[in-house]
Amino acid sequence: MRMLHTMLRTGNLQRSIDFYTQVLGMTLLRQKEYPDGKFTLAFLGYGKESDQTVIELTYNWGVEQYEMGNAYGHIAIEVDDVYQAADRIKASGGKILREAGPMNAGTTIIAFVEDPDGYPIELIGK
């Protein structure tokens, strides 16, 4: 068994694709519209779906916003240097929720950024 993807609902598919590709450096792997279901799926990641876990963005046509709820946590992405990654994301227009630095009660360097729909993404140093 292996993890295939994490699905996130988005209110603006192109805006989210732009964030994940231009700000986080992922590649749009595939995208397909489902007219009968009135939704579009887009899969993004850092490598082929056959080798890597990816993100599935789901756009339900006509739905522009979702409530986060309080059970969802975050997505985590490993980076070589959290400080540099956070600076690059900030320079690309990304929103920083927590500046890079040691985690609470630990030494691992982390930062948090937010995607256009409000989903938190943790950056973790190797």
The catalytic residues are 122
For the beta carbon of residue 7, count every other beta carbon within 10 angstroms: 11
Question: β-strands 75-79, 109-114: how paired?
Answer: unpaired
* Structure tokens belonging to residue 14: 């192109």
Q: What is the CA radius of gyration of the chain?
A: 15
Q: Which residues pair with 98 in a beta bridge?
A: 112
Distances (CA, A) of 5 to 20, 34, 55, 103: 14, 19, 5, 26
Contact of 67 with 118, CB cutoff 8 Å? no
- Binding site per annotation, positions for Zn(2+): 56, 74, 122
- Binding site per annotation, positions: 56, 74, 122
